[in-house]
């Protein structure tokens, strides 16, 4: 059983994460934060990296683990922490829980013989993160339109994790919900849940009908001929990672408003996002 944990950098979510892990009974050390006042009294501040790594079985980084692929992501700390220093200290039996690690970083871990788990790839976390993503999307829709979601015509592009929860929430607030999907079984689900299914081939047809269009698919769904027929006051909200489902050039050409909304969980609900992180970390530790 892994009980000794070092939370190493990250943003406000990792401060919450450290506090929540303390409450669960883990021995939590922290490093990579200049201001310790936000941590609960049980989290122990480490003087330096070496001291921190020595005391722990598991190191948890921020989300994402790195921005420059060389140092850890430590937005709340002046000091730079290099991966090669960390991995050098971690060798033998310590585990690194990272997020959004690329191949280069994974290769470095392999070279240093450090066991790595990408917690951001856990399905249970991705599902839970859909909750604050959807609330963030609703908040944007409420703020950016002059009409209520109630009685509005909403199109959701894609029926994955976010699409499923978003369609449910829009409908429960009184919207007329249309969902674009590709597979016949998804279209059956969409019918069963009470939404109107739109086959991907027909998405262009009737596009002038919507007040809000949400994209959840990471590749272009809405092609050029559609933009000229979108209602002038319709708002397009992009929830997928780049390049997303909208053609920004075409949208601009036709003065269609597109709002890009990446990383909603950390922005809209860092408190809830930290709870989901904690649950996922506990699951990982129990499985190790």
Q: By CB under 8 A, name the binding residues for a second copy.
A: 122-128, 130-132, 135-136, 138-139, 142-143, 145-151, 165, 168-169, 172-174, 183-185, 187-189, 191-194, 233, 268-272, 283
User: Is residue 185 helix, strand or coil?
Assistant: helix
**Contacts by 228-236 with C-beta closer than 8 Å and gap 24+?**
228/254, 230/254, 230/256, 233/145, 233/146, 234/210, 235/141, 235/144, 235/145, 235/211, 235/259
* Structure tokens that stand for 51 in this block: 């001291």
Q: Which is nearer to a second copy, 85 or 272 (CB)?
A: 272
Q: How far is the CB of 18 from a second copy (least distance, A)?
A: 16
Q: Which is nearer to a second copy, 94 or 164 (CB)?
A: 164
Q: Which residues of 163-182 are buried (b: 16+ CB within 10 A; e: fewer)?
A: bbbbbebbbebebbbbbbbe
Q: Which is nearer to a second copy, 200 or 248 (CB)?
A: 200
The residue count of the chain comes to 288
Q: Which is nearer to a second copy, 81 or 165 (CB)?
A: 165
Residues 6+ apart with CB under 8 A from 41: none
Q: Which is nearer to a second copy, 131 or 240 (CB)?
A: 131
Q: Which is nearer to a second copy, 135 or 250 (CB)?
A: 135
Q: For residue 71, which of 63, 61, 59, 80 has the smallest C-alpha distance?
A: 80
Q: How far is the CB of 137 from a second copy (least distance, A)?
A: 10
Q: How far is the CB of 264 from a second copy (least distance, A)?
A: 10
**CA 274 remoteness from chain centre:** 11
Give the C-alpha separation, 61 to 154, whole Å: 38
- Name the E strands within 24-145: 27-31, 44-45, 58-61, 95-98, 115-118
Q: How far is the CB of 2 from a second copy (least distance, A)?
A: 17
* Structure tokens that stand for 222 in this block: 């809405």
Q: Which is nearer to a second copy, 50 or 283 (CB)?
A: 283
Handedness of CA 78, 83, 88, 93 (dihedral sign): positive
125 CB neighbour count, 10 Å cutoff = 22
Q: How far is the CB of 19 from a second copy (least distance, A)?
A: 13
Give the C-alpha separation, 96 to 233, whole Å: 48
Q: Which is nearer to a second copy, 185 or 242 (CB)?
A: 185
Q: How far is the CB of 184 from a second copy (least distance, A)?
A: 4
Q: How far is the CB of 126 from a second copy (least distance, A)?
A: 8
Q: How far is the CB of 84 from a second copy (least distance, A)?
A: 33
């Amino acid at each position: 059983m892994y009980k000794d944990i070092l939370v190493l950098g990250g943003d406000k979510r990792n401060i919450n994460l450290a506090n929540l892990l303390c409450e669960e009974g883990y021995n939590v050390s922290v490093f990579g934060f200049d201001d310790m006042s936000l941590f609960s009294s049980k989290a122990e501040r480490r003087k330096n990296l070496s001291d921190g790594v020595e005391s722990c079985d598991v190191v948890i980084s921020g989300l994402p683990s790195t921005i420059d692929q060389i140092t850890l992501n430590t937005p709340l700390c002046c000091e730079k922490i290099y991966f090669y220093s960390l991995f050098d200290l971690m060798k033998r039996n310590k585990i690194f829980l990272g997020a959004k690690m690329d191949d280069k970083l994974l290769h470095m871990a392999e070279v240093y013989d450090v066991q790595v788990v990408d917690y951001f790839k856990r399905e249970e976390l991705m599902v839970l993160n859909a909750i604050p993503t959807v609330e963030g999307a609703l908040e944007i829709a409420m703020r950016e339109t002059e009409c209520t979601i109630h009685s509005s015509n909403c199109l959701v592009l894609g029926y994955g994790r976010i699409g499923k929860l978003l369609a449910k929430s829009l409908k429960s607030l009184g919207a007329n919900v249309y969902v674009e999907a590709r597979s016949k079984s998804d279209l059956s689900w969409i019918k069963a849940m009470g939404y109107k299914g739109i086959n991907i081939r027909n998405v262009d047809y009737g596009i002038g009908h919507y007040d809000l269009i949400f994209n959840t698919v990471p590749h272009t769904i809405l092609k050029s001929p559609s933009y000229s027929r979108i209602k002038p006051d319709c708002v397009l909200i992009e929830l997928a990672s780049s390049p997303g489902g909208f053609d920004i050039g075409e949208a601009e050409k036709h003065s269609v408003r597109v709002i890009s909304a990446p990383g909603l969980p950390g922005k809209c609900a860092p408190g809830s996002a930290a709870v989901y992180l904690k649950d996922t970390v506990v699951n990982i530790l129990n499985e190790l």
